Chains A and B, each alone.
Chain A
Amino acid sequence: MNDLDKILEQVKNDTLPHDAIDRKFELLLSIEQKQTKTPTLWYGASFALLAVIVGVALFVTSNNLDTALTLVENVDALGYTDQLYDFLSSSLE
């Protein structure tokens, strides 16, 4: 066995910081998971709130379906027109 092979053998047997890598990986992963979950939760909650406010306000103040749907389309920043349409249609029927 020559010198290089001996050194390579030593390198192979050297302890690696598995725990440190795992800890860093888990920490970064949990941050990443939080970041990807937050928008979904946020949009879900926003939609529910928006639907309730728009639905109740329109139901109380107006029985005019056309006006209601125009308003709904105008506030469709989150892309939920279809769901709101169904909700209001059934509310105003």
Chain B
Amino acid sequence: MDFEQFYSEHKALVYRICLAKTHKELAEESTARAFVEVWKRWDYVSNMEAPVAYVITIAKNIVKKEYLKSKARQIFRLDTIEDLATHHSPQQDALKNETLEEFWSALAQLSDREQEIIILKDIEERSLEECTEILNLSLSAVKSLRHRAKEKLSRILKTGVPS
């Protein structure tokens, strides 16, 4: 597989995983930055067992780092009033559609693994084999993770709380 193919096949997946953790602009930027990192090491990454898992990890780390940076800026009051006004809650500005907004907010309440299995299997429609490879879990573990994640997500959407 060449890099262009890898990029076009997995960019939506990486973006959605970022979107479950942050707002739209940062999700876009983190996705782009993660793929640039992969591009830099493509010879190495292309020979990995699960290059998708690698790009997901990079993207998640970028989101986490940016979140910590913005927290630090707030703590040390380095943000201007305008900056603070433009900070959004994770998925606040991701989608105007109320249902979709509710969905992304609910998804953000799940664990990393739970978010990923929902995005991989139920949104991106990846095969169970691919899910096991990306999540580095056995088939039965993936199935039970998905079952638990869907139950929890339904509960949050109905009641607003995970349990």
A interface residues with partner B (beta carbon < 8 Å): 2-4, 7-8, 10-12, 14, 16-18, 20-21, 24-25, 27-29, 32
Interface size counted on chain B using CB atoms at 8 A: 29
- Please tell me which one of the listed residues B12, B28, B100 contacts residue A20 in the complex, with CB atoms under 8 A apart: B28
CB distance from B26 to the nearest CB of A (A): 11
B78 CB contacts on chain A under 8 angstroms: none
Chain B interface SS verdict (over half): helix
Q: Which 8 A-B pairs have the closest CB atoms?
A: A24-B32, A25-B32, A28-B36, A4-B154, A8-B122, A20-B28, A21-B28, A7-B103
Residues of B close to A7: CB separation below 8 A: 99-100, 103, 157
Check: B7 CB closer than 8 A to any chain A CB: yes
Please give the residue numbers on chain B whose beta carbons come within 8 Å of chain A beta carbons, in ascending order.
Answer: 7, 11-12, 15-16, 24, 28-29, 31-33, 35-36, 39-40, 95, 97, 99-100, 103, 118, 122-123, 125, 150, 153-154, 157-158
Residue of B nearest to A28 (CB): B36
Contacts of A4 in B (CB 8 A): 150, 153-154, 157
Q: How far is the CB of B87 from chain A (nearest CB, A)?
A: 19
